Amino acid sequence: MSAHRPSALDCFRTSPFLSSKHTTYFPVYDRLFGPYRDRPITFVEIGVLSGGSLFMWRQFFGPAARIIGIDLNPDAVRWREHGFEIHIGSQSDPAFWQTFLNDIGPIDILLDDGGHRFEQQIMTCECVIPGIRDGGLLVVEDTHTSYLPEYGGPGPVSFISYAKQIADGINHRFSGLRDKYPFEPAIWSIRFFESLVAFEIDRTLTTQPSRPCRNQGTPVAARDFRDRDPSIVTAGQIISAFRY
Ligand SMILES: C[S@@+](CC[C@H](N)C(=O)[O-])C[C@H]1O[C@@H](n2cnc3c(N)ncnc32)[C@H](O)[C@@H]1O
């Protein structure tokens, strides 16, 4: 984290306008967004409401960052006079995203704090990932809504089930699995936090060849005992060891 910039929690506390977040989000912001501070990045947040988070991000990232807010509510344009770029539209609308991405250029970080329904979260990921630069992040907030009936969950389709499918796609980049499942071409990694999912975008790293490799170290006579584990249990038995 930058030595001379306050933590995300301090930026939140000192923002001059209201913002509502969850207490568990601030360490995640520090951890994920810290490396982008004091750089000329493009940061986009879906969900402006009372404007407080725009000020929080400006203080967190510093004056070199471009801070962009998106909201469905046209009143959000009031924050333009404070130096923020505000775009009005719906995160569920692919046509909005097309125009938006053409207008603003490549994004370094997109944070989804919008409508919080899984349909909106999934549509956002599908539309926005092509606009995120390699080395950039897409972070979706309030992913606990996948489990809440008032947000349409839990069910066979949810944002979390979508993210788990992407985890399958990431693992199918492995050379021996590529023809068995659609492999994921843009998301290099996924991190699951409580109520947050972060996707790290890097199309260069996702296309690096996956093949076995060895160093030049001296081989010694060592037998691989992987097939001789005397304690291994069956798939059926292992279920009883799960914590859930
Ligand atoms: C949780 S509030 C944002 C809070 C703000 N980021 C903060 O920290 O205080 C959610 C905002 O998302 C907006 N919103 C809801 N559905 C949306 C959609 N489909 N597209 C864009 N914005 C949406 C709402 O108008 C509201 O202002």
| Residues annotated as part of the active site | 116
- How many domains does one find in the chain? 1
CATH number of the domain within which 166 lies: 3.40.50.150
Residue 87 clears pLDDT 70, i.e. is over it: yes
- Average pLDDT value for the chain: 95
Residue 1 clears pLDDT 70, i.e. is over it: no
In a domain, 217, yes or no: no
With cut-offs at 50, 70 and 90, classify the pLDDT of residue 2: low
With cut-offs at 50, 70 and 90, classify the pLDDT of residue 204: very high
Q: How far, in Å, is the centroid of ligand 1 from the Cα of 46?
A: 6
What are the Cα distances from residue 154, in Å, to 118, 145, 149, 162?
Answer: 10, 8, 6, 13
Residue 195 clears pLDDT 90, i.e. is over it: yes
In a domain, 26, yes or no: yes
Question: Residue 34 belongs to what domain range?
Answer: 8-211
Strands (E) in 105-236, as ranges, are: 107-112, 132-141, 187-193, 196-201
Cβ burial of 167 (10 Å; 0-12, 13-18, 19+) is: middle
Share of the chain above pLDDT 70, in %: 99
Q: How far, in Å, is the centroid of ligand 1 from the Cα of 224?
A: 55
